[in-house]
Amino acid sequence: MGETRAFLASIGLPPGDLYELPDSQLRFADGAQYRIEIPSVEGPACLEAVLEEAARLDVPVHRVSQGSGVFLQTDDELGAMARTAADALVEVSLFARPNAAWDTSAMVRSPAGAVVAPTSRGQEQIVQGLEDVRRAAAHGIRSVLIADLGLLSVFGAMRAAGELPEDMQAKISVMLPAANPAAARVLADLGASTLNLPTDLTLPQIAAIRAAVDLPLDLYVEAPDNIGGFVRLHEIPELIRIAAPVYVKFGLRNAPDVYPAGTHLEATTVALSRERVRRARLGLELLARSDYEPATSELGAAGLAVPVLAAA
């Protein structure tokens, strides 16, 4: 076992989980240690609700993300989200769909099928996922959620080739989680911009991943029931200290799974969006009561994928 640990160290990976929980010396481009993300913002009405609550509760929302997919937004809705977020200096990240979970996959519906649910099923789904990316970019969106290794690899190649804007970001979905340092490095090498970690990793496991990659980490401090249902608000100070730079994500327990969302669920998704901002207020107040005072970013800070609108 000692030889194995020594080899891991020789290739720049930690020899095990880091129980000493070292301070992370890494920062966002503006020097900040953490930013706030509100997930499951399913369309313009939800985005407006998030921004209203953020102003009312004094919550600096740096990024919002959406799970239903670019193709489930009309052109007008994409344009509205881009304009609203650009005016507010907030990043919008939209999911590049489809994937096996919504397809005619028998394996997805089998007892062991959860492992394939996020994947792009066949080359046609790679094509359609890339079309989602292109369409988002055409509307000024500069961040997409990706949940498949193949899709990520082609995304990276397209960006490098100039087929996508050079500032287009790939936010790795929690459905393609980096569960260990070696996996995190693979995702980074394929072109990821930020990495979602599994919602149930311990602090030593998270610290080991931070030691392996420089990318920002996305961490749920409250997770929806279908990805664990954990409420980890009291760990926010330590998570920021060991994992910076980190996007602190406020999901919602005891909430319905609304994917794919639409206007038939709008009252529910808007209410859920408002409550996620309230959860963020709770997290910020808890952080303020701790002995730790990490730096956060201004809205529109360097590195945020704020939508880029075409000149009139």
**Tens-binned pLDDT, residue by residue, of the chain (312 aa):** 899 999 999 999 999 999 999 999 999 999 999 999 999 999 999 999 999 999 999 999 999 999 999 999 999 999 999 999 999 999 999 999 998 888 888 888 888 777 788 889 999 999 999 999 999 999 999 999 999 999 999 999 999 999 999 999 999 999 998 999 999 999 999 999 999 999 999 999 999 999 999 999 999 999 999 889 999 999 999 999 999 999 999 999 999 889 898 999 999 999 999 999 999 999 999 999 998 999 999 999 999 999 999 754
Structure letter (DSSP) for residue 296 = B
Predicted local distance difference test score (pLDDT) of residue 311: 57
Predicted local distance difference test score (pLDDT) of residue 108: 84
Contact criterion met (CB below 8 Å) for 216 and 245: yes
Q: Which long-range contacts (CB under 8 A, 24 or more apart) does 276-279 make?
A: 276/38, 276/39, 276/40, 276/50, 276/250, 276/251, 276/252, 277/38, 277/50, 277/53, 277/54, 277/57, 277/59, 277/61, 277/250, 278/53, 278/57, 279/222, 279/233, 279/250, 279/252
d(CA 171, CA 195): 6
CA distances from 191 to 92, 136, 170, 173 (A): 19, 18, 7, 13
Structure tokens at 262: 């639409």
Beta sheet of 34-38, edge-to-edge order: 169-172, 143-146, 91-95, 61-65, 34-38, 246-250, 217-222, 195-196
Domain 21-102+115-289 sits in CATH 3.40.50.1970: no
Predicted local distance difference test score (pLDDT) of residue 274: 98
d(CA 169, CA 155): 9
Residue spans per domain, the chain: 21-102+115-289
